[in-house]
């Protein structure tokens, strides 16, 4: 699977499995349900039950240790946060989950890695653009993956990859509430094709 995280903000449990299936079939194998979605843990549980053997399912907008525990109990295997909170990172790693905290500066990035982060979510990536990431990559450990989220998409994947992005989180370009699974599938195929064309 490609290093793409589908961000399904606003998805409902009754549509979660069908949309998840469309994404997996298109080649996107990591799926995040932000916790400010309707009944997010039910969506995570349903998707993990149906596709947990083929995809990494988890939660976004995870802000506390209690939320990490709830995601783990629901079958989630990845925790994504908009911020860098060491206690959340440590709790996720202790529970055997991937932890992808949001960072914007080298200070936050190094603190996240010291706390055990699996990888770094550059968010919102649009604030510093590929030149900013390139400057950060010059000092970050080469083995630390950085995913660009917010401002990265099919039109500029190549620029971000050249700057050192290892992958991407894609939100509204893939899913917005009210889209059918077929519409999500079409968007996913477009994103995957664009990534494949840009990736080395």
Q: Is 178 helix (H, G, I), strand (E, B) or coil?
A: coil
Exposure of 82 in the CB half-sphere (CA atoms within 13 A): 9
Please provide the size of the chain in residues: 200
Alpha helices in 8-155 (DSSP H): 13-26, 40-51, 65-73, 86-94, 106-115, 129-137
32 is catalytic: yes
Phi, psi angles (nearest 5°) of residue 60: -115, 175
121 is catalytic: yes
User: Which residues fall within 8 angstroms of residue 180, CB to CB, at 6 or more apart?
Assistant: none
User: Which of 25, 32, 98, 197 is the catalytic position?
Assistant: 32
User: Which residues fall within 8 angstroms of residue 130, CB to CB, at 6 or more apart?
Assistant: 156, 159, 160, 162, 163, 165
User: Which of 25, 121, 183, 197 is the catalytic position?
Assistant: 121
Nearest to 105 by CA among 124, 88, 87: 124
Q: Rounded to whole angstroms, how far apart are CA atoms 176 and 187?
A: 11
Q: Which residues are catalytic?
A: 32, 121
């Amino acid at each position: 699977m490609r290093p793409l995280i589908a961000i399904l903000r606003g998805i409902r449990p009754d549509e979660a499995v069908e949309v998840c299936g469309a994404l997996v079939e298109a080649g996107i194998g990591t799926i995040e349900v932000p916790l400010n979605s309707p009944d997010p843990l039910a969506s995570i549980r349903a998707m993990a039950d149906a596709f947990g053997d083929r995809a990494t399912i988890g939660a976004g907008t995870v802000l506390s240790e209690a939320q990490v525990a709830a995601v783990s109990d629901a079958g989630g295997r990845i925790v994504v946060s908009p911020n860098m909170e060491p206690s959340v990172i440590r709790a996720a790693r202790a529970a055997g989950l991937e932890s992808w905290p949001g960072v914007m500066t080298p200070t936050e990035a190094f603190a996240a890695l010291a706390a055990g982060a699996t990888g770094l979510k550059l968010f919102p990536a649009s604030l510093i653009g590929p030149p900013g990431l390139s400057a950060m990559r010059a000092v970050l450990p080469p083995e630390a993956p950085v995913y660009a989220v917010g401002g990265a998409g099919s039109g500029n994947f190549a620029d971000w990859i050249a700057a050192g992005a290892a992958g991407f989180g894609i939100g509204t370009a893939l899913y917005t509430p009210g889209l059918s699974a077929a519409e999500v599938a079409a968007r996913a195929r477009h994103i995957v094709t664009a990534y494949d064309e840009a990736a080395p």
